[in-house]
Structure 1
Amino acid sequence: MEQDTTEIVGFHAHVYFDTSTRDVAAHVREGLGARFEVRLGRWFDQPIGPHPKGMYQVAFLPNQFEKVVPWLMLNRQGLDILVHPETGDDLTDHTDRALWLGNKLDLNINFLQQITKT
């Protein structure tokens, strides 16, 4: 069944890092905040929820996708980044509808399945 893109109310980019790449992640974050209308989330230095390593989230509206994602493609500085839509279906948004820049990391799908059931 075909779905309409109007179901997408926003996008999240999860920028992953570890202790050796935190400064690089900070540089990417500064670039995002300075150039785009995005909402920068908190830093998580340890895995949280479905995310297998430290990360911060960048939230943006659909009309920013064509600006934010190409910039991340060119300026991710070797970091792995998950980009996904927000449609209200967290499990599918993080898996089947996900776009990866860099390496595709193994998410904690069990966590997403648990929150989807509630």
Structure 2
Amino acid sequence: MPEITGYHAHVYFDAETQDLAQKLCEDVSRLFPVQMGRMHARNVGPHPRWSCQLGFAPDAFDQVIPWLMLNRNGLTIFTHPETGNHLADHRDRALWMGEMLKLDLSIFEKTNA
């Protein structure tokens, strides 16, 4: 069984919800041991919408995920573990809050097939 070394939660937004997403990301990173990434106003990596990445350790999962569930204000959040197998982490081991979107997993298929 792979070891989970951390988690990434990707908060998706668009031009209309960017301020809401930024506040959510800033709030969670202030309240919990969460590292907030940049607010990407473009699609990055496999993500089909603009997003901000939140990184956190396995021992913060039970605090961060419930808080996001209750405070996401209609935003879609995609969360996956970090095990070193990016394809499986994004395809098979992920959690969705809100709309389930299609990721572009082709960037991982050559490295983790």
One-letter code of the match for 1:68? Answer: V
TM-score (structure 1 length as normaliser): 0.91
Q: Which of 33, 49, 52 is the equivalent residue of 1:53?
A: 49
The aligned counterpart of 2:89 is 93
Displacement of 1:115 in angstroms is 4.4
Displacement of 1:19 in angstroms is 0.2
Specify which structure has the higher proportion of strand.
2
Residue 34 (1) aligns with residue 30 (2): yes
Question: How do residues 68-79 of structure 1 correspond to structure 2 at under 5 angstroms?
Answer: 68-79=64-75
Whole-angstrom distance in 2 between the partners of 1:42 and 1:28: 13
Displacement of 1:30 in angstroms is 1.8
**Identical-pair percentage:** 47
Q: Which of 19, 22, 41 is the equivalent residue of 1:23?
A: 19
One-letter code of the match for 1:16? Answer: Y
Structure 1 alignment gaps of length 5 or more: none
TM-score (structure 2 length as normaliser): 0.95
Specify which structure has the higher proportion of helix.
1
Whole-angstrom distance in 2 between the partners of 1:40 and 1:31: 10
Deviations 1:35-93 (A, max 9, x none): 00111111111111100110010000000000000000000010000111000000000
Tell me the number of residue pairs that the alignment of Structure 1 and Structure 2 aligns: 113
